[in-house]
Structure 1
Amino acid sequence: MKVSKSFEVFAKEAPEVQSAWMETIHKLDAASTLDKKTEELAYIAVMAAVRLESGIPFHVKMAKSNGATRSEIISAILVGLPAVGNTVINALPIAIDAYEED
C-alpha cells in the first residue's frame, strides 16, 4: 500500500529517524489488545479529529483489508463530531475515495 508523500519524504530524507519511528510503531502495535480492524478504525477517527488527512488513505485501505466496511469507515470519521466539531467531515471524501480505489 502506498504511503503519503510526506511519509515518503520522511523515509528518504531522514531514514534513521524513520526507522526508529517505525520500530516504535511496531512495538505499540504489538502492545495493543485491539483487533486490527478496530485499531485501524480508531486510528482513522483520531486522524480525522486532528486533521491529519494525509495518512487517511493508507489507514482506510488497512482497515478495509482487515474487514472494515464503507459504513464503518464513515462512522469512525464521524465519531469525533461531538468532541471536535465538523472539521472531521473534511476527511470523508478522502476516506471514501480511498475505500473505493482498487
Structure 2
Amino acid sequence: MVRNPVILGYFTAWSIYSRSYFVSDIPADKLTHINYAFANIGPNGQIALGDPWADIDKTFNGDTWDQSLRGNFNQLIKLKEKYPHLCTLISVGGWTWSGKFSDIAVS
C-alpha cells in the first residue's frame, strides 16, 4: 500500500508579532497539513483560545468591519479556500498552557 507523505507546516499565533510572519506567508502549495499553535485549556477543562486577539480579532487586509470572524482563524479559512487539500490542525497546551493537559487527556 502506497501512502502519500505528510508535509506539515507549523504556525504559531505569535508569529504575527515579532516575526511579522502571517498565514498568507505560509507556502500552502507545498504542504499537506498546517498545525496552528496554540489553543489553551480553560479552568473548566474546555479548549479555549490561546491568544484571542491574534486568533479571532486582528484585522488583516481584505477584512471588513462587519465580519463575525477575523484574525488568524479567518486567514486559515481563506487559505483553505485557496488550497482545499490542506488539512488544518491545532496544538493544545504547549509549554505555557500544559498544566491541565494531563487532566483533560484522561477523560
TM-score by length of 1: 0.36
Larger Rg: 2
Higher strand proportion (structure 1 or 2): 2
